[in-house]
Amino acid sequence: MRIYICLIATALVCACAPLIQPSAPSETTLPFFGSGYPSDGDPCRRLGESAETIDYLDHTAVLVGCPVNLSTLDEFALNTGATEVFRQDGFVVYSVPTGQ
């Protein structure tokens, strides 16, 4: 009886697994840092300097990467004044003005 319960539980977990999508692809060369933007735990994160980002960095804005499948991308851009600068590895990279 226990074996059947374990098999059923395993089947249910496996059947639901494709429905769970990670918030971001696991492999990217983008230099993410921090634990969320604009607040800790948010799915978007700040980006540092790299070959991919160097042309978009300046003292008037920060670069932020958000998962391309984030349902609130339009809301994020509207609320932060962000401008999309490029897409790479499943992320949308925004330039967000700092207000300076």
CA distances from 28 to 8, 12, 36 (A): 36, 31, 17
Strands 83-88 and 91-97: antiparallel
Residue 92 domain flag: yes
In a structure prediction context, what are the per-residue pLDDT tens digits for the chain, which is 100 residues long? Answer: 666 454 455 554 445 444 333 444 458 999 999 999 999 999 999 999 999 999 999 999 999 999 999 999 999 999 999 999 999 999 999 999 997 5
Residue 7, domain member (yes or no): no
Report which of 26, 29, 11 is spatially closest to residue 67, judged by C-alpha positions.
26
Write down the pTM of the prediction: 0.72
* Structural domain harbouring 79: 23-97
pLDDT score of 42: 95
Residue pointed to by tokens 């230099």 = 31
With b for 16 or more beta-carbon neighbours within 10 A and e for fewer, the 53-78 pattern comes to beebeeeebbbbbbbeebeebeebbe
